[in-house]
Amino acid sequence: MSQGAKRGCCSLPCNETGNSLADLGGSRAKEKRVQVSPPLTRGPSAFIPENEVMQANGLDERTNLLVEEYSTSGRLDNITQVMSIHTQYLESFLRSQFYMLRMDGPLPLPYRHYIAIMAAARHQCSYLINMHVDEFLKTGGIAEWLNGLEYIPQRLKNLNEINKLLAHRPWLITKEHIQKLVKTGENNWSLPELVHAVVLLAHYHALASFVFGSGINPERDPDTSNGVRLIAVNNFCVCDLANDNNIENASLTSSNFGIADSLSELEALMERMKRLQEDKEDEEASQEEMDTRFEKEKKESLLVISGAFDDEIVSTDVSRYIEDPGFGYKDFARRGEDHLPTFRAQDYTWENHGFSLVNRLYSDIGHLLDEKFRMVYNLTYNTMATHEDVDTTTLRRALFNYVHCMYGIRYDDYDYGEVNQLLERSLKVYIKTVTCYPERTTKRMYDSYWRQFKHSEKVHVNLLLMEARMQAELLYALRAITRHLT
């Protein structure tokens, strides 16, 4: 049980004069925040018009109650505002995040926020880094640690390898990585501590995908005259990429695609969904055919490229939290590399294996994560753009399973031919970018797919991508822990 993690007690140590470290941390937090440029658009998102976020069924009394109950920052931040478009999901999200950051658990509070910073830094997510720099200091974290990884305890440094692999190539995690972390010694991790750390790392890698995928703007700061922190421009601020030469995009989008085009695109998608449903009732594909379709989809995902970003520059204020900044996502199914076995979901599932292991070592988090995964997977309003009474199950499943396919996870009973029929190329580019290298996401990519769909439906897509990614990372890490235990 961590000191001061229990709800309702003060977790802030005080100095001799009686001031809490939160007061002292205020000025330090400003010094340590990662540099960001001001947003080019108003509102919580650079992609979604402000009035659409406000009008969507969120920001009502229910949302305010949830924020009061479960907010870790004590206010309605931009992520929460955008997620509140789907209030049911928001509740699951806030409850699980609150549990891992605030409630009793194996790790001390400052460790939790520092691990969040380390995870967010892998994707240069200044939004999340800044949020947790503030929280780290408020919960009594040592300000010197914010100077970079060389200032932190060795046992936290030891998480660098698993952080890097989980964020970019989780299929490389083995039981040897686990054994190295838990082996006896003064810097070892207990298994419950390690599971808590892994859950936090996976949560914040995935949340970075949501931040970039939804164009979340930096928070407005009440301490400045125009409400936005004006510090020197950071190479990879959410908004620099999110706005992606806004004017050029607007003309590009409108000139290339008329309303008629996007309407016919919508009708064609609905027709394909209907046909898939009918084919399923008529005939079952053989197992051999299913195998072939998965391999085809896995190889085709290699051809989905999201721009040339060979030598990305990581700003110094982010790089202080990263070891090996050049390490990034590489396709699971790279040409000429057949030695990586596909992760057969039937052999190690979340429901039958991951859930019980995580719950045993870090009580109750399994239930909260399970509820969140189920919530997003089953969430539907039975609408598609302007159409009502639509069964969107096949579409939601294709989105979730495509993410897992890129991570080398395969469901024997799923026909991957559905992915190719339901997800057009521009959507695949968007999915791959948001999931594998979210810091490259642009407004152009967001605008380029499903042009007739509502913003709320695109936010739902981002929630699905985020949870599919988190579950994929957890499956690889928990399988390695299971192998260590057996």
Most confident of 89-103, 239-253, 263-277, 412-426: 89-103
- Choosing from 10, 14, 125, 405, the catalytic residue is 125
Residue 27 has pLDDT above 80, yes or no: no
pLDDT at 313: 60
Q: Per residue in 367-404, is it b (16+ CB within 10 Å) or e — as a string?
A: ebbbebbebbbebeeeebbeeeebebebbbbbbbbbbb
Residue 282 — pLDDT band, cuts 50, 70, 90? low
Query: What tens digit of pLDDT does each residue of 222-240 get?
Result: 444 333 333 222 333 333 3
Measured distance CA(40)–CA(72) in Å, rounded: 27
Give the single-character DSSP code of 440.
Answer: G
pLDDT at 312: 56
Closest alpha carbon to 460 in 369, 368, 384: 384
Measured distance CA(149)–CA(147) in Å, rounded: 7
Question: Would you state the structure tokens that stand for residue 63, as one six-digit string?
Answer: 């949302």
pLDDT at 36: 75
pLDDT at 263: 64
For Cα atoms 126, 128, 131, give the angle at the middle one, nearest 5 degrees.
105
pLDDT at 254: 38
Q: Which residue has the higher pLDDT, 257 or 228?
A: 257
Query: What tens digit of pLDDT does each residue of 55-108 get?
Result: 654 457 788 888 888 988 778 899 999 999 999 999 999 999 999 999 999 999
Active site residue 125: yes
pLDDT at 72: 80
Q: Give the count of beta carbons closer than 10 Å to the beta carbon of residue 218.
A: 23
Q: Which helix (H) or strand (E) holds 387?
A: strand 387-388
Residue 143 has pLDDT above 60, yes or no: yes
Measured distance CA(95)–CA(46) in Å, rounded: 26
DSSP letters of 180-242? HHHSSSTT---HHHHHHHHHHHHHHHHHHHHHHHTTBPPPB-TTSTTSB---PPPTT-HHHHH
Mean pLDDT of 311-317: 65
> Is the CB of residue 377 less than 8 Å from the CB of residue 464?
yes
Question: Would you state the structure tokens that stand for residue 318, as one six-digit string?
Answer: 């982010």
Give the single-character DSSP code of 86.
Answer: G
Question: Would you state the structure tokens that stand for residue 395, as one six-digit string?
Answer: 């579409």
Query: What tens digit of pLDDT does each residue of 286-300 get?
Result: 777 776 766 666 666
Residue 372 — pLDDT band, cuts 50, 70, 90? very high
Q: Which of 252-256, 276-280, 321-325, 396-400 has the lowest mean pLDDT?
A: 252-256
> Is the CB of residue 402 less than 8 Å from the CB of residue 428?
yes
- From residue 107, alpha-carbon distances to 4, 100, 115, 134, 144 in Å are 11, 9, 10, 18, 19
Mean pLDDT of 45-53: 91
Residue 40 has pLDDT above 80, yes or no: no
Mean pLDDT of 353-376: 96
Give the single-character DSSP code of 10.
Answer: -
Query: What tens digit of pLDDT does each residue of 450-461 get?
Result: 999 999 999 999
Give the single-character DSSP code of 413.
Answer: T
Closest alpha carbon to 180 in 210, 206, 154: 154
> Is the CB of residue 136 less than 8 Å from the CB of residue 200?
no
CA 284 from centre of chain: 35
Match 């046992």 to its residue by tokens. 155
Residue 383 has pLDDT above 60, yes or no: yes
pLDDT at 233: 28
Q: Alpha-carbon dihedral of residues 241, 243, 248, 253, nearest 10 degrees?
A: 100
Q: Alpha-carbon dihedral of residues 149, 151, 154, 159, nearest 10 degrees?
A: -20
pLDDT at 299: 63
Q: How many helices and strands in the chain, by DSSP H and E?
A: 23, 4
pLDDT at 279: 74
Give the 3-state secondary structure of residue 383. strand
Q: Measure CA of the first residue to CA of the last residue in the chain; give whole Å.
A: 26
Measured distance CA(373)–CA(471) in Å, rounded: 8
Closest alpha carbon to 376 in 462, 478, 452, 270: 462
> Is the CB of residue 454 less than 8 Å from the CB of residue 266?
no
Q: Which class for 214: exposed (0-12), middle (13-18), buried (19 or more C-beta within 10 A)?
A: buried
| Total-model pTM | 0.84
